């Protein structure tokens, strides 16, 4: 592992294999397990860096694709790098942009060289290759950079999935050759779709590289939760024990709890902030929709056990009013609560691991947590598609679906 980075495994739950660790980076130590808020375009939507520090964020994300398109890595580098640009002095992880580019299924062409695509912002012709994605991340100055990978859309045939996995491995070699910053960790990514043998093969292949950390990709692209849990439990234990393991794009509380039991240390997703802007907040009982009429007169915080700014200062009735009146403050207060909830969840999992009681804690949590109805999530997705298309008349509906799923919103 490069000198500025060090991972110490501090405790492992004897029953589940859940891990508590300490990942030291040039800009601070990350205590794991933890959830990383997503700030794709150099901002976590509606929140300031001070907000993020207060709610307990340890590391945040930026995105190569979005920052390359606007304002451009040249400008960010000239202005002192991403940390100075957005005034965040803690660790930053940048996604390579691979997922965003592959989301634009009808705007791009994949070759062995890389991916040629058209910008969803202005339609201009662009190209991302392993070398270009690596160079952009170096110019941004993130602490953790991701290798450029090929993520397939589901459903995908075995042959297509193998082809993408093998290309991911070849592209990783090119990323490693291009990568020159000793103060930036480069994480390889496991691919392989929903095929167990491909996942195992990919995990074994990237584990032969002495990397500062390893990621599991392609696990939040439309597969069932059962498939996702199976893949994580299969792959994570096969990655090097003495390095952090990062599960990309996963952010539902129940998925974090199960992912940690599978041996994962780091998570990220737009879900907590996205559902916050739609008026939904997280609690240990499950998600709560603030616009529900039954909450109109609730003179109590969302969660009396929560210590976030929102719960310390405002009632559920007030938040209900903000969303019914379509006031922007509602977005901000709900986002603060949801990200604080995720930070507290990470701390609670870490404590249960160090206490040696994670299995019992996990079972109790999952018994009390009401999982969201996936059909409701689909309705919300369709609303995002419609809203996105309304601002860009004339674009193909399929492009709207791809971008609403991710290419024009935070990290996805």
Residues tagged active-site: 95, 268
Cα dist from 352 to 8, 57, 319, whole Å? 18, 20, 32
**Contact at 8 Å (CB) between 138 and 184?**
yes
Task: End-to-end CA distance of the chain: give it in Å, rounded.
Answer: 29
Let me know the angle formed at the C-alpha of 150 by 206 and 197, rounded to the nearest 5 degrees: 55
Of 211, 213, 189, 220, nearest in space to 202 by CA: 189
Cα torsion 261, 262, 268, 270: sign: negative
Cβ 192 vs Cβ 165: under 8 Å:
yes
CB-CB contact of 231 with 280 (8 Å): no
DSSP reduced 3-state for 287: strand
Give the position of tokens 């990568």.
Answer: 179
Q: Give the torsion sign (CA, 154, 158, 159, 165).
A: positive
């Amino acid at each position: 592992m490069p000198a500025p980075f060090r991972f110490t495994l501090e405790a492992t739950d004897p029953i589940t294999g859940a891990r508590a660790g300490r990942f030291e980076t040039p800009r601070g130590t990350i205590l794991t397990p933890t959830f990383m808020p997503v700030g794709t375009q150099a901002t976590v939507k509606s929140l300031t860096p001070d907000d993020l520090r207060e709610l307990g964020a340890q590391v945040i994300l930026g995105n190569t694709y979005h920052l390359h398109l606007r304002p451009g890595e040249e400008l960010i580098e000239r202005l002192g790098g991403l940390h100075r640009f957005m005034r965040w002095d803690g660790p930053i992880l940048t996604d390579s942009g691979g997922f965003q580019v592959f989301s634009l299924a009808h705007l791009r062409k994949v070759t062995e060289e890389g991916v040629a695509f058209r910008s969803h912002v202005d339609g201009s012709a662009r190209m991302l290759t392993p070398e270009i994605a690596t160079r952009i991340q170096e110019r941004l100055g993130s602490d953790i950079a991701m290798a450029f990978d090929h993520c397939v859309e589901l459903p995908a045939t075995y042959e297509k999935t193998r082809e993408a996995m093998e290309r991911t491995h070849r592209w990783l070699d090119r990323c490693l050759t291009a990568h020159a910053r000793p103060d930036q960790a480069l994480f390889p990514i496991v691919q392989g779709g929903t095929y167990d043998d491909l996942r195992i093969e990919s995990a074994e292949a990237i584990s032969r590289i002495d990397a500062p950390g390893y990621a599991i990709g392609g696990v939040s692209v439309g597969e069932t939760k059962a498939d996702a849990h199976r893949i994580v439990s299969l792959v994570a234990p096969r990655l090097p024990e003495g390095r952090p393991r990062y599960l990309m794009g996963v952010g539902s509380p129940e998925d974090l709890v199960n992912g940690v039991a599978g041996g994962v240390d780091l998570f990220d997703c737009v879900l907590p902030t996205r559902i916050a802007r739609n008026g939904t907040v997280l609690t240990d009982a499950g998600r709560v929709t603030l616009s529900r009429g039954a909450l109109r007169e609730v003179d109590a915080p969302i969660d009396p056990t929560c210590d976030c700014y929102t719960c310390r200062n405002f009632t559920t009735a007030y938040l209900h009013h903000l969303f019914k009146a379509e006031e922007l403050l509602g977005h901000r207060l709900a986002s603060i609560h949801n990200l604080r909830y995720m930070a507290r969840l990470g701390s609670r999992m870490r404590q249960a691991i160090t206490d040696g009681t994670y299995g019992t804690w996990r079972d109790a949590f999952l018994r009390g947590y009401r999982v969201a109805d996936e059909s409701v999530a689909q309705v919300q997705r369709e609303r995002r598609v419609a809203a996105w298309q309304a601002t860009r008349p004339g674009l193909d509906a399929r492009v709207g679906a791809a971008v609403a799923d991710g290419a024009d919103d935070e990290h996805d």
